[in-house]
Amino acid sequence: MSVDVRAAAVVGADGALLAGDPALLAAGAQGADGGDVVVARSRSHTIVVRCGPCAIERLLRADLRTALDALAPR
């Protein structure tokens, strides 16, 4: 995963926190993507990441897509 990730949360389709920092639930529910928060969604999961100033956003988004693919039900 990308460097300079400060906190992360994985949320299920029902909005339940599956792993990570509960403080990020509100950002994921609101879709608050921007600033130091990056949100990636699939049909079954949402990943919310709070990153630091040195994060490379394109790399971070690519990593989040890869993580979402790995979480997808088969």
What DSSP string runs through 47-68?
EEEEE-TT--HHHHHHHHHHHH
The tens place of each residue's pLDDT in the chain, 74 residues long, gives 557 899 999 999 999 999 999 999 887 667 667 678 899 999 999 999 999 988 888 999 999 999 999 998 88
CA distance 50 to 27: 10
pLDDT of the residue at 61: 92
Q: Which residue has the tokens 């890869």?
A: 66
pLDDT of the residue at 3: 74
Neighbours of 66 (CB within 10 A): 12
Whole-prediction pTM value? 0.86
